[in-house]
Amino acid sequence: MKNSLIGRLLTMLLVLSMLMSITSVVFASTNDQKSEEARILELFEKHDAREISARSLPQGIEPIVINTLEDLETFIAERENRAHTIEFFDDRLPESRNARVTGTTGIERDIGGPTLRLNTTYEYLVSVHGIQGLRAIQNWWSLTGFTLSHSLSSSWAQGSVSNGVLRVQGTASVNTYLLFSGAIRIITDRYDGSFDFRPMHGVSNARLVRI
């Protein structure tokens, strides 16, 4: 009888110990989850990731899905450590004497998915007297490449000619959309760009930075 009672007590102690272990694991797991969510929200606040309604999401945009803290940290690292290499592009008609030449040129930079471009369409006259009448027809910003989770907004660009050099400058905002725990968030980056264009010489003094 005594042994039976001791056995029951030992069984109860074993069950109680198991329940405490399970509760401890669940509690620790819950705390870890809450800690990770808090860190994610802290990083969102640091990078000004504002929450928006689903109705505010532009048509065709698919937000980048953030499931874990690791996902967000990877996204931020790639965004912050992106190389700031500026490329040039130029698309123009062949030059000939007594001809009016038009073309599009500008600068571009990989901003982590899409490529941001500052463009100008120019025109000038080639004659026996040299190059004359250089002017900017249109100046604008554009996004190319992987733009599924990004949009361009609040941009302006202008071009002016002085001493045979076309100077193009402007600013643009690029929105990046994220999805975390059913909520859509938006990060807006502002860029400043400028460059000089000279016929026969191309683009120089290029600058395209996040501000």
Interval 192-205: pLDDT, tens:
999 999 988 899 99
Domain ranges of the chain: 2-46, 64-210
Q: Please state, in angstroms and rounded to a whole number, the distance separating the CA atoms of residues 159 and 196.
A: 9
Interval 123-140: pLDDT, tens:
999 888 888 999 999 999
Distances in Å between the Cα of 195 and the Cα atoms of 58, 105, 181 are 31, 10, 42
Structure-block tokens of residue 155? 């941009």
Interval 12-47: pLDDT, tens:
666 666 656 554 444 344 555 567 778 878 888 888
In the three-class reduction of DSSP (H, G, I as helix; E, B as strand; rest coil), residue 35 is classed as helix
**Predicted TM-score of the model (pTM):** 0.76
